[in-house]
Amino acid sequence: MKPLSPFFLLLPLLIIILFSTDTFSSSSQHSLSSPSSLSTFSPSPSPAVFTEANEDNRYKYRVYTTYILAIQYPKNLCAHAWETKRCDINYKIDLPNAFTIHGLWPDNPINHLPKPPVVQFEVDQIHNDIRLRDGLYEHWIDAYFNYQGGPNKETSKHIKAEAFWFEEWKKHGTYSGLNTHEYFRLALDLFLNLGDVIGHFKARHLIVPKPQGGFAINVTKAHMALKEVLGVDTFLKCQQNAIMQEEFYEIEILYDKATLRRLDHGSFIGNHPHNCGIEIVDLDIDTNI
Ligand SMILES: *[C@@H]1O[C@H](CO)[C@@H](O)[C@H](O)[C@H]1NC(C)=O
């Protein structure tokens, strides 16, 4: 049989390239348009053909199908805070013995996504819903709140928390296609649905005292406990602080965007559902547990 000529092999590729170049330019115009066109912003990007030929376009036209909910343990973040981060000296009593929300991230990684048109952070939409506002004040706090004096510590704490929400909104929320209220309501609902994560660990006696004082947890066991309760693989994260101590500070849970069902988080480092260098890590918690 006669082999196909190179032209016939390249033809489909050429068609695809032409097609994606065309979609690309019309969308660039859209995202570069003046602020006056904001009202015409449609949050859902139109589906496009993704080809190996243009890796960039794959991300530009990505249709987001998943969310990651990241929850963090503020006391561990403060136990060995980074040089650039400062916690209140009273963090041990002020911060909860609980995980709190870090963020709700449409897809991952975000770095490759196109910048969406500016979408306002409408904090009033949160303030006007007292239940949402108070839920967020309780569960979406800034671990690095550092009281500098002033009339009211609670108020300052709330202002700091809102600044954190705004950062997360700019970085992630604006990619969600949701408005401020919808996005924060969703994040809080998904979070509350996890139940008491520290409680899940405690119920299985996973938080154990260390001989030298303090408490520790085996992240492999923690992952297994979460799988039992939540029904899916999660991803547990440690980071090394400025003095090279490893701290367990975060858990990622993956969701299907359309159904909001939890999914198995695909990330494993080697065989591990965590990126910690050691299995048994400190957990800064009140001793009266
Ligand atoms: C952590 O827990 C896993 C699962 O139970 C166990 O196999 C492993 O030996 C534990 N790690 C340490 C250092 O004890």
Confidence of residue 243 (pLDDT cuts 50, 70, 90): confident
Residue 288 belongs to some domain of the structure: no
Both tokens assigned to 89: 């000296």
**How many angstroms separate the alpha carbon of residue 215 from the centre of ligand 1?**
16
Residues 52 and 73 in one domain: no
Residues 89 and 160 in one domain: yes
**How many angstroms separate the alpha carbon of residue 220 from the centre of ligand 1?**
6
At 63 the pLDDT is: 65
Residue 289 belongs to some domain of the structure: no
Q: Which of 267, 263, 273 is nearest to 232 (CA)?
A: 263
Residues 189 and 132 in one domain: yes
Residue 106 belongs to some domain of the structure: yes
What is the CATH number for 257? 3.90.730.10
Both tokens assigned to 273: 């559902």
Residues 56 and 138 in one domain: no
Residue 42 belongs to some domain of the structure: no
| Distance separating alpha carbons of residues 241 and 282, to the nearest angstrom | 13
Residues 181 and 219 in one domain: yes
Instruction: Count how many domains the chain has.
Output: 2
At 148 the pLDDT is: 86
At 177 the pLDDT is: 83
Residues 116 and 12 in one domain: no
At 118 the pLDDT is: 66
Residue 39 belongs to some domain of the structure: no
Average pLDDT over residues 132-138: 98
Q: Which of 206, 258, 268 is nearest to 237 (CA)?
A: 268
Cβ(220) – ligand 1 distance below 6 Å: yes
Residue 267 belongs to some domain of the structure: yes
| Distance separating alpha carbons of residues 207 and 198, to the nearest angstrom | 9
Residues 52 and 111 in one domain: no
Average pLDDT over residues 187-205: 97
- Residue pair 276/285 in contact by the 8 Å Cβ criterion: no
**How many angstroms separate the alpha carbon of residue 235 from the centre of ligand 1?**
17
Terminal C-alpha separation, the chain: 77
- Testing ligand 1's pocket by substitution, the residue of 206, 220, 246 carrying the most ligand atoms inside 8 A of its CB is 220
Cβ(218) – ligand 1 distance below 6 Å: yes
Q: Is the pLDDT of residue 5 over 70?
A: no
pLDDT by residue (tens digit) across 99-133? 999 999 987 544 556 666 667 899 999 999 999 99
At 52 the pLDDT is: 37
Residues 155 and 221 in one domain: yes
Domain around 94: 66-282
Report the atom number in ligand 1 closest to the C-alpha of 280. Answer: 13
Average pLDDT over residues 184-188: 98
At 80 the pLDDT is: 77
3-state helix, strand, coil in the chain (%, to 5): 40, 15, 45
- Residue pair 126/168 in contact by the 8 Å Cβ criterion: no
DSSP state of 274: B
Phi then psi for residue 241, to 5 deg, are -90, -170
Residues 87 and 176 in one domain: yes
Cβ(280) – ligand 1 distance below 6 Å: yes
Among 102-116, 157-171, 188-202, 254-268, the range scoring the smallest mean pLDDT is 102-116
Distances (CA, A) of 83 to 93, 102, 128, 138: 21, 20, 37, 26
Residues 210 and 93 in one domain: yes
| Distance separating alpha carbons of residues 60 and 187, to the nearest angstrom | 25
**How many angstroms separate the alpha carbon of residue 280 from the centre of ligand 1?**
8
**How many angstroms separate the alpha carbon of residue 205 from the centre of ligand 1?**
14
Residues 54 and 162 in one domain: no
Phi then psi for residue 274, to 5 deg, are -155, 165
Residue 40 belongs to some domain of the structure: no
Residues 90 and 51 in one domain: no
